[in-house]
Each structure stands twice: as C-alpha cells, then as structure tokens.
Amino acid sequence: MAGFVGCDETIERLYVYLDGELTEQRRIEITRHLDMCGPCVGAYGFESELRRVIANRCKDHVPESLIARIAEALRNEHSRQSN
C-alpha cells in the first residue's frame, strides 16, 4: 500500500522525480500528492518549465579543438600528480 507523502518530501524529491530516478512506489506516491496539492504542483510546473528552457537554450556547440585542449590539460595534470 502506498504511503503518505507530504509537501516537504515532495519538494525535496522534485528533482529526482523530474529525472525519473525514483522507485516506482515513490513515484506513484509523489504523483498522487501532486494531483492533490496546488502549491506543490505549482513548484513542479515551475521546475519542469525551467529545465525545458535551460535545455533549449543551452545547445551551444563545443569546438573539437576545445575538447582536445581540455582533454590534454587533464592528461597533463594527471601525469603531474602521478609523479
């Protein structure tokens, strides 16, 4: 049987809920809470929309040369720390 999930737990677990990282049981409990709680569903809507906007706006292409320079710098740092 599903347990009761209050506002504090719902808000605390909102990010993992949005990421789909909850157990099925916990996801059902939080979904039920969101179905009944206006303030929490408002927070859910805000966070969901914020994630969508960020995902749509953060599609800049990273040049391969920059990726290669970063990888080389990381290898050099790792080699230096190993010595």
CATH number of the domain within which 12 lies = 1.10.10
* DSSP 8-class letter at 60: P
The number of folded domains in the chain is 1
pLDDT tens figures, 18-37? 999 999 999 999 999 999 99
Asked, for residue 1, whether it belongs to a domain, the answer is no
- pLDDT interval class at 16 (50, 70, 90): very high
Q: Which domain holds residue 27?
A: 7-82
Task: Note if the pTM is more than 0.85.
Answer: no
- pLDDT interval class at 1 (50, 70, 90): very low
Asked, for residue 47, whether it belongs to a domain, the answer is yes
CA distance linking residue 66 with residue 44, whole number of Å: 36
Asked, for residue 2, whether it belongs to a domain, the answer is no
CA distance linking residue 17 with residue 52, whole number of Å: 15
pLDDT tens figures, 45-73? 999 999 999 888 877 788 899 999 999 99
Q: What is the pLDDT of residue 55?
A: 83
